[in-house]
Structure 1
Amino acid sequence: MTDHMKNQTKHAIRAGHEAEETGSGPAAEETGTGQVAGAAGNLGAHIKRADQAIMARKAEALRGLDLTVPQCRVLGFLVGGAAKSCTQLSREALVTSQTMTGIVKNLEAKGLVERRTSPDHGRVVLVSLTPAGIETARRASVLSDTIERGVLDALSDGDHALLIRLLDRVAEAAPVAGIRLLTP
């Protein structure tokens, strides 16, 4: 992360803290019900924007290894030596089996994974890393970790801990959010 990007991130975090503390800012308009207008509708967008920014940076870095982010994730799922079926990989990656089959075919064409029939189930095809895949997965992991550390460097330890706690609370609240509104 460049110094300019770090400064922009720190400025945005600081502005967010100031808006929180003063109750100002575009998302802090009072509705008269004690709620902040616009904040609820934008939560997912803010989370997605942060995720997309990180993923875009990782995609840029992974281009040097001739990998996409989804391909990097699959290599990561296979690190450790355990062969997995496309179905297992698709569940881990939260994509369809068809999408995973395409990712695996591309990785196989690059010589990073190999497919073989399962000795236990003749119709199941298992995917595992090749030696080149192991080395590429290692290099991709270093790049990914470096980017994540760069993002975290823009946060204080307290901000990082708070962000994790808040994201955990969002994940816990989301499955039951709005249920009162949906029940008569």
Structure 2
Amino acid sequence: MEDRSSVPPPHPAQDVTEHVGYRLKRASAALRSAMDKALREHDLTVPQYSCLELLDRQPGLSNADLARGTFVTRQSANVVLRGLEEAGLVTRATTTDHGRALPVHLTPAGRRRLDAARGAVYAIEERMIEAVPADRLAALLADLDSMAESLDE
């Protein structure tokens, strides 16, 4: 039997469930599951909702911008956008004045769908952050940002 203690853990932990990465993934999976369930009632997926949110804040983003902002590949973002376009929730320009990136915009139907779904998603986030003492929320957000930045290449 091989010796598994040859590599020390990054912090004291009895098993994998006590590692930061495991806890982050568990929280992420719980959030995704709750969002999937809530967004199903609005006929949206999490990536579709994320695209609508980004476009509401920054109209005219490109497929590549949306892929980065929704944490999916360009190919996946293209599939998501095609579905949103077919549903009449976004429009994509067929040509552009500069470069190759085609800007994407919300349609009025897309804005209405986003507004309806946003309340459900925000309610989930409220439930989640109620578990964190209010005086620790800013530090938690800063810590999560720091952890992500430490892994950016």
Structure 1 residue 86 corresponds to structure 2 residue 81: no
1:139 is aligned to: 116
TM superposition score normalised by structure 1: 0.67
2:36 to 51, 59, 68: 59
Aligned residues: 144
CA–CA separation in structure 1 for the residues paired with 2:42 and 2:102: 26
Q: Which residue of 2 aligns with 1:28?
A: none
Aligned to 2:73: 96
Cα root mean square deviation, aligned:
2.8
Alpha-carbon displacement from aligned partner over 1:107-152 (angstroms, at most 9, x marks no partner): 1111111122244048543221111001111222222111101111
Q: Could you say if the C-alpha distance between residues 175 and 66 of structure 1 is closer, same or farther in structure 2, counting changes exceeding 3 Å? A: closer
Residue 18 of structure 2 is aligned to residue 50 of structure 1: no
Match of 1:22 in 2: none
Deviation at 1:155, TM superposition (A): 2.4
User: What is the TM-score of this pair, normalised by structure 2?
Assistant: 0.79
* Equivalence for 1:36: 12
Structure 1: any 5+ residue segments left out of the alignment?
Answer: 1-34, 177-184
Separation of aligned partners in 2, 1:118 and 1:127: 11
Q: Does 2:101 correspond to 1:157?
A: no
Any idea what the Cα deviations from partners look like across 1:38-85, whole Å, max 9, x if unmatched? 478721111011011011101100001000000000001110462222
Structure-2 change in CA distance of 1:93 and 1:165 (3 Å): closer
Higher helix share: 1
Decide which moves more: 163-172 or 112-121: 163-172
Structure 2, unpaired ranges of 5+: 1-10
Identity rate of aligned residues, in percent? 35
Higher share in strand: 1
Q: Contact 1:85/1:125 (CA < 8 Å) preserved in 2?
A: yes
> In structure 2, the residue corresponding to 1:75 is in which secondary structure?
helix
